[in-house]
Amino acid sequence: MDRRFKLEILSVTSENGGHKTFEMKNVFDVSPGQFFMITDYENGEKPFSVSRITPDRIFFTVKEVGSFTTKLFEMSAGDSVYVRGPYGNGFNCELLAGKRLLFLGGGCGTGPLRSLAEFLPAETEITFINGARSKDDLLFKDGLAVPLSDFCCATDDGSAGTVGNVVDVCKNSVDLNSYDYIVTSGPEPMLCAVRDYISSFSVPAFYLIERYMKCAVGICGQCSVDPVGVRVCVEGPVFTGEMLNRLSEFGVYKRDASGTKHYFKGASGT
């Protein structure tokens, strides 16, 4: 049953790049890549991925972009929000466990990758390439709660880690063929660059994508991706590379609250 839980914010941590991480009690059966709908009953109800899962806690890492997130940023430990979920397919943890994985993350997209990295069993070999515009935007730059085979950062301006974006790092210093799977999450232009670059390799990939979401239970159709119509809230938010290649809207446009298309910069409407 689609129940909303009143959850107290237990802690708020400021992160780089104007992000904040909110800690709440874990009263759910949730896995990495899934998301929740959070409301304050005043500023809308919005989807957020879990960025860390422990047996008794869940964490959300949020960027302030508009009315709801601004309200959330004003909240502190002791305040409450109303949460329903988890929703979406999440990552296929069974498949990924124990494999050699390349994680490519950018912006708040690194949140769900962190939860996955920390969730998978220790024998999983993970290379985590974490990208941002500059040092001050870089999330989780001090690494994660678990040791990884490799954790490296890339910034566009070179102020931390390697100069360039995650794809540049891949081109210069990563042998894609030595991985079983690529898992990527971040802003859509970054995901497109990843898709384009890895298309000449045969490593299967998983992409976590976002679309404007309303009901989150698969009936309103707002987050369907053309032309297949798969719903980010039910069939997603994690899609295989094969499915992504069938979603011709990906990287080209996304729909707003009315369903009107908005084209990404550089993409043209036809």
Partner 1 sequence: MEQSKKLSSVFMNHALANPLVLPAGVMDVSHGSMLFAVENGAGMVTMKSCTLEPRSGHPGPVVCEIEGAMINAMGLCNPGIDRGLEEIATFKKFSDVPVIASVFATNVSDFLKLTQSVNDSSADFIELNLSCPNVSSEFGTPLSASSEMVAEIVRAVKSESKLPVFAKLSPNTHDVIGIAREAEAAGADALVLINTVGPGMVIDIDARRPVISAKFGGISGPAVKPIAVKLVYQVSGAVQVPVIGMGGITSGRDVIEMLMAGASLAGVGTAIYYRGIDVFAKINAEIEEFLEMNGIESVTDIKRIEC
Ligand X SMILES: Cc1cc2nc3c(=O)[nH]c(=O)nc-3n(C[C@H](O)[C@H](O)[C@H](O)COP(=O)(O)OP(=O)(O)OC[C@H]3O[C@@H](n4cnc5c(N)ncnc54)[C@H](O)[C@@H]3O)c2cc1C
Ligand Y SMILES: Cc1cc2nc3c(=O)[nH]c(=O)nc-3n(C[C@H](O)[C@H](O)[C@H](O)COP(=O)(O)O)c2cc1C
Q: Provide Rg for the chain, Cα atoms.
A: 18
d(CA 196, CA 268): 17
When CB distances are held under 5 to 8 angstroms depending on the partner's kind, the choice from ligand Y, ligand X, partner 1, none that residue 229 binds is partner 1
Residue closer to ligand Y by CB (options 93, 217) is 217
**If binding is defined by CB under 6 A, does position 219 make contact with ligand Y?**
yes
Q: What is the largest CA-CA distance in the chain?
A: 50
Residue closer to partner 1 by CB (options 26, 43) is 43
d(CA 241, CA 58): 28
**If binding is defined by CB under 6 A, does position 220 make contact with ligand Y?**
yes
Write down the residue that tokens 């860390």 correspond to.
52
212, 222 contact by CB (below 8 A): yes
Residue closer to ligand X by CB (options 60, 206) is 60
When CB distances are held under 5 to 8 angstroms depending on the partner's kind, the choice from partner 1, ligand Y, ligand X, none that residue 211 binds is ligand X
Write the DSSP symbol of residue 219: S
**If binding is defined by CB under 6 A, does position 114 make contact with ligand X?**
no
**Interface positions, 80-139, toward partner 1 (CB under 8 A):** 82
How far, CA to CA in Å, does 75 sit from each of 41, 103, 158, 268?
14, 31, 33, 40
Among 121, 258, 265, 266, binds partner 1 (CB under 8 A): 258
When CB distances are held under 5 to 8 angstroms depending on the partner's kind, the choice from ligand X, partner 1, ligand Y, none that residue 110 binds is none
SS3 at position 102: strand
Residues lying near ligand X in the complex (CB under 6 A): 35, 44, 46-49, 60-63, 65-69, 108, 111, 210-213, 232, 237
